């Protein structure tokens, strides 16, 4: 049975300790920190959860966050984290412990003060990351019930992006950058069409999913197979949407600072033409 050496008690339920390999760990358990002394040996039977943060900076950030929370909020966030871990098949990047804990803590305090932040990308997030969005919906429910508050639906979108960030091993800033880029591209499309696109339509969902994967392919240096014949055909048959697709590609290249494969124009043109023709038939 493993023994841990107590380094510091943060509160009644959280201890900073060393394991048998002398690695620093965060130990969580009901009453685990009560009257604990530095250097004391602690049996693993008293430990409900263990967090090992390899990155020293993240470790310090996480400890700082723990000191700012009362027990009720802390317990709610830990339960939310456990739910996320159980319902994702991928190994989560450890940065989620810091980034999402920080986000949830301030979301709770903001909501308590009656302050909310609008999420302009909520519908797109739901369509782009359905698995993460469903998990985030449950996370919000867990927190709402535990703390007796009502986090707004906008928070589900923000939390979903944090979960996606941890699953894909990306920094949350990078995920937000890509989401903002998609929003920018959609604005350019609607401006060119001089119409609002139905955000619930299957054609719109297909378009933004293609944009998401196009951005990811570009970011990772992958390319779709190219067909010059189709390119020329689309250029001749659908010049408006073909030219618009290249405008979008140039925006992607300028934002990502990487070349976008020529084949993306083919698929973008087809997605755009499908939406454009339906908008035309409605007028």
Q: Which CATH number covers residue 29?
A: 2.30.24.10
Q: Which of the four pLDDT bands, split at 50, 70 and 90, describes residue 225? A: low
Q: Check whether 33 has a pLDDT greater than 90.
A: no
Does one domain contain both 228 and 199?
yes
DSSP conformation letters of 18-33: E-TTS-EEEEE-TTTT
State if pTM tops 0.85. no
Question: Do residues 7 and 74 both lie within one domain?
Answer: no
CA distances to 57, 270, 271 from 237, in Å: 56, 11, 14
What's the CA gap between 122 and 144, in Å, rounded?
Answer: 19
Range from 19-28, 89-98, 185-194, 253-262 that averages highest in pLDDT: 185-194
Q: 64 with 108, same domain?
A: yes
Q: Report the domain count for the chain.
A: 3
The answer on pLDDT for 135 being more than 70 is yes
- Residues 185-207, mean pLDDT to the nearest whole number: 94
What single-letter DSSP state applies at residue 174? H
> Which residues span the domain enclosing 238?
179-282
- Position with higher pLDDT, 139 vs 232: 139
- Is residue 107 located within the same domain as residue 207? no
Q: What is the pLDDT of residue 281?
A: 59
pLDDT at residue 210 is higher than 90: yes
CATH number, domain at 99? 1.10.1790.10
**Tokens 């530095």 map to which residue?**
38
The domain boundary residue, chosen from 113, 148, 170: 170
Question: Do residues 15 and 52 make contact, with C-beta atoms less than 8 angstroms apart?
Answer: no
Q: Out of 41-50, 188-197, 232-241, which region has the weakest mean confidence (pLDDT)? A: 41-50
- The reply to whether 10 and 64 lie within a common domain is no
């Amino acid at each position: 049975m493993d023994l841990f050496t107590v380094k510091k008690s943060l509160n009644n339920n959280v201890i900073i300790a060393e394991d048998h390999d002398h690695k620093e760990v965060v130990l969580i358990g009901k009453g685990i920190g009560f009257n604990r002394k530095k250097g004391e040996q602690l049996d693993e039977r008293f430990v409900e959860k263990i967090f090992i943060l390899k990155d020293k900076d993240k470790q310090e950030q996480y400890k700082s966050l723990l000191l700012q929370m009362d027990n009720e909020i802390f317990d709610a966030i830990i339960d939310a984290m456990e739910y996320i871990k159980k319902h994702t098949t991928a190994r989560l990047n450890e940065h989620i412990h810091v980034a999402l804990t920080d986000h949830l803590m301030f979301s709770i305090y903001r909501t308590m003060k009656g302050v909310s932040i609008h999420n302009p990308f909520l519908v797109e997030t739901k369509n782009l990351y359905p698995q993460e969005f469903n998990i985030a919906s449950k996370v919000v429910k867990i927190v709402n019930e535990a703390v007796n508050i009502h986090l707004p639906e906008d928070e589900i979108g923000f939390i979903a992006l944090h979960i996606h960030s941890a699953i894909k091993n990306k920094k949350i800033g990078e995920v937000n950058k890509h989401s903002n880029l998609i929003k920018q591209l959609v604005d350019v499309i609607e401006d060119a069409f001089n119409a609002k696109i139905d955000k619930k339509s299957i054609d719109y969902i297909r378009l933004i999913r293609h944009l998401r994967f196009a951005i990811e392919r570009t970011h990772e240096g992958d390319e779709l197979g190219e067909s010059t014949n189709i390119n020329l055909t689309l250029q001749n048959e659908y010049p408006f949407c073909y030219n618009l697709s290249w405008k979008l590609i140039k925006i992607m290249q300028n934002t990502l600072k990487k070349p976008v494969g020529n084949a993306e124009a083919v698929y973008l043109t087809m997605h755009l033409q499908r939406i454009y023709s339906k908008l035309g038939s409605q007028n």
